[in-house]
Amino acid sequence: MEKNTSGLVVYSFPGEENFYKLSGNIVEVSDYKADHSEGFIFAPFDNKDLPIIKILGKAEVVTEGMNLLSNSDLFTLKDFPEETEYDSYVTTIKEVVKKIRTGYIDKLVFSISEVEAHSLDDFEELLKKLRFHYPNAFVYYFYSSWTGLWIGASPELLLHSDGEKMETVALAGTLKNASKWENWGAKEIAEHRFVERFIETQLSPGIYVKKGPLPVKAGPVYHLSSHYRWSIDQFNGSPFDIHPGPALSGYPVNESIQLIKQMERRPRKYYSGFLGPVNGSNVFQFFINLRCMEVYQNKSVLYAGGGITEDSDPAKEWAELQYKFSTLRSKMLKAEEV
């Protein structure tokens, strides 16, 4: 496919049934705070590696068919990402834990990827089923010739501004059955506290209201969540002030990002980046690109990650990643079983 300057996004907000659609010209955004034109932002994990893309225009509510691409319109997967084997993963995580215990970092978010065959063609039906099964997620379909096709159902808000108030969420830790605070152990609580500490440092010395931490359900799992809200007069922040934070990279952030690039052996691309609509000056809503897949003809690349601390057990961390992959497969790749 030839590279062109048009893109297409269809999305639905948490707690809503409506889908919104925007197709239009795409541009590369170098300075987010200098550009508040209407559109939709799609940003990578690290904007030093890949461009921040914006589809220009105003989204409209979908009232008829979405008119999405078919499987035959997609890129062909040529370069497979390196798939991590169990023994290699255990060895790597032991190295990470050793670095943590020597004081180099306090936490690292380590991710792996898998390539899975799929027979998806009716992407509209898939989006509707994701909307039904993930009522508290930001569900999306994003395509451009620069990025290819990405589909996801993210449970995590990065930054929301209505022009007067701003809000963000610290979200970390993953357990299957943990609806009460007493279900959470020291490892998960420590993971979450790193994220809280980072956000609170970025907001300092401003005044904010905090609620949490509390367990929240996100599909088949629970996370610990703390919600922050403040006046835009206190801190008129950019998403890059808090992204990528410890929930995506580790703690301290800069050292963790460098270690990720050394140890993950393949780029994250737009996985664990962020995306969402911009509706004018200081009016936007951005979500972290988690629970997502990169879709090619007949194959998809799935991404999953987990926080590693000094108390991490590599076998348990591997089992958690396999559970996340199984959820992605059942909810995204097999539309008839969603």
More confidently predicted of 236 and 105: 105
- At 75 the pLDDT is 92
Contact present, 151 and 275 (Cβ < 8 Å): no
Strands (E), the chain: 6-12, 20-29, 39-43, 52-56, 60-61, 107-117, 138-144, 148-154, 157-162, 165-175, 209-218, 221-231, 250-251, 274-278, 283-288, 292-296, 299-308
- At 281 the pLDDT is 81
More confidently predicted of 333 and 294: 294
- Going by pLDDT thresholds of 50, 70 and 90, the confidence category of residue 172 is confident
pLDDT for 135 beyond 70? yes
Lowest-pLDDT choice from 217-221, 305-309, 317-321? 217-221
Contact present, 55 and 39 (Cβ < 8 Å): yes
The mean pLDDT value for 48-71 works out to 93
Contact present, 9 and 55 (Cβ < 8 Å): yes
User: Kind of pairing, strands 165-175 and 39-43?
Assistant: unpaired
Percent of the chain topping pLDDT 90: 70
pLDDT for 330 beyond 90? no
Q: Dihedral angle at the C-alpha atoms of 143, 123, 15, 156, nearest 10 degrees?
A: -50
Q: What is the pLDDT of residues 88-102, one digit of tens each?
A: 999 999 999 999 999
How high is the mean pLDDT of the chain? 90
Closest C-alpha among 174, 216, 188, 157 to residue 304: 174
Contact present, 19 and 12 (Cβ < 8 Å): yes
- At 78 the pLDDT is 84
**Topology given in CATH for the domain delimited by 6-337:** Anthranilate synthase (3.60.120)
Contact present, 77 and 303 (Cβ < 8 Å): no
Contact present, 234 and 206 (Cβ < 8 Å): yes
In sequence order, the 6+-apart residues with CB closer than 8 A to the CB of 323 are 176, 221
Output the six-digit token pair for 209: 């209201």
Give the chain's end-to-end CA distance (angstroms, integer): 31
- Going by pLDDT thresholds of 50, 70 and 90, the confidence category of residue 324 is confident
Where are the domains positioned within the chain? Answer: 6-337
- At 155 the pLDDT is 86
- Going by pLDDT thresholds of 50, 70 and 90, the confidence category of residue 336 is very low
In eight-state DSSP terms, residue 296 is E
Q: Which pTM was predicted?
A: 0.91
**How many Å apart are CA 306 and CA 321, to the nearest integer?**
7
The mean pLDDT value for 269-294 works out to 94
- At 66 the pLDDT is 95
- At 63 the pLDDT is 92
- At 32 the pLDDT is 60
In sequence order, the 6+-apart residues with CB closer than 8 A to the CB of 219 are 133, 134, 137, 153, 155, 291, 327, 331
**How many Å apart are CA 303 and CA 294, to the nearest integer?**
9
Question: Which residue(s) pair with 118 in the sheet?
Answer: none
pLDDT for 338 beyond 60? no
Output the six-digit token pair for 295: 């879709």
More confidently predicted of 245 and 1: 245
Percent of the chain topping pLDDT 70: 96
